[in-house]
Amino acid sequence: MGPQDITHLHLLLNHVPTIGTVVGLGLFLMSFVRRSEHLKHVSLEVLYLIALATLPAYISGLAAQATILDRPDVSAEAIMAHHDAALVSFIFIEITGFVAWLGLWQYRRIERMSGWVTPAIFVLGLVTFAMVSGAATIGGEIRHPEIKIEESAIAPAGVIPAKAVAEFVTTNPWVWPAAEALHFLGLSLLFGVLFTVNLRLMGGLRSVDYAALHKLLPWAMLGFGVNLVTGMLFTIAAADQYISNPPFMWKVAFMMVAGANLLYLTVYDRLWELKAGQEPVFIDRAVAMSAVAVWIGVIYAGRMLPFLGNAF
């Protein structure tokens, strides 16, 4: 998949963060109107899944930027403003997705969420909607050259300009190796926890209740967060190296599936009811084995970045 193909993918995905945030936040607010705990859970699951889907939307946007940056009919200032706005939007969407997942995890364990989760989701949802709306507005003006982009229509750069992030990573010799070390530690923590939990579903660790392993999942999410932050530092600093590298796109695809598996492990009722000595059903075994295979795929694709494709 080359940059042109990834650009087309961005055209398919670029509305997902905006529409998904509206749907997730709308369901969340509707759950209070209808006093429905089920609807609240669905809204949190939607916000988490949108956080996952925003990763390929942002990554494909880097390819789209590289494709059109030198076109004379497109404002370079608008492109960079869109990039900055998209980065800030991405950060808020991921934070919202994390808080949504934490609420789901808490409810699964203690049948309620911490008091701060609901107002946090509400505030983060509103801020995220404002951010993605601004990014989408600039993106729409870039997408349609028949619309003349006025200076006043270009949103100011985000509070974390992408160019400043790239310069921070590339001009400080300690940042990249430190991020590499954290990336490895985060992946080790993430894979270790998820392998252990999925091992129970594959028929191992039969003397342990699934609920006892469920309490480990926040450590997996911590590892996922460390990997996401450090991985984005690499991607922003050397975008041209990553978007032209097929294994990187494989890794992103594997991560989407693996992230969905984390949600499955968090909320699925049948898993929670698996007691010590009980055998998991076939479908849960199959899902667990597939999840481990996907995480091995993530690791393999990451290690192959320097060896396959034309990058690095």
Cβ neighbours of residue 28 closer than 8 Å, sequence gap 6 or more: 40, 43, 44, 47, 121, 122, 125
Amino acid at 158: G
The 3-state DSSP class for residue 69 equals coil
Residues 6+ apart with CB under 8 A from 156: 81
Contact 28, 47 (CB under 8 A): yes
Q: What is the pLDDT along the chain (312 residues), one digit of tens a residue?
A: 555 667 777 777 788 888 999 999 999 999 999 988 889 999 999 999 999 999 988 888 877 777 766 676 666 677 777 778 888 888 899 999 999 999 999 988 887 777 888 899 999 989 999 888 887 777 666 655 555 555 444 544 445 677 888 889 889 999 999 999 999 999 999 999 999 999 999 988 888 999 899 999 999 999 999 999 999 999 888 888 888 788 888 998 999 999 999 999 998 888 888 888 889 999 999 999 999 999 999 999 888 888 876 666
Give the model's pLDDT for residue 161. Answer: 77
Short-list 22, 51, 30, 18, CA closest to 262: 51
Number of Cβ within 10 Å of residue 56's Cβ equals 20
Q: From CA 216, how far away is CA 255, in angstroms rounded? A: 19
Q: From CA 220, how far away is CA 190, in angstroms rounded? A: 4
Distance CA 216, CA 131 (A): 33
Tell me the two tokens of residue 147: 């619309």
CA–CA dist 96, 87 (Å, integer): 14
Contact 24, 50 (CB under 8 A): yes
Q: pTM here? A: 0.87
Contact 108, 266 (CB under 8 A): yes
Mean residue pLDDT of the chain comes to 84
- The pLDDT of residue 226 is 94
Nearest in space to 257 (alpha carbons), one of 49, 81, 60: 49
pLDDT of amino acid 159: 56
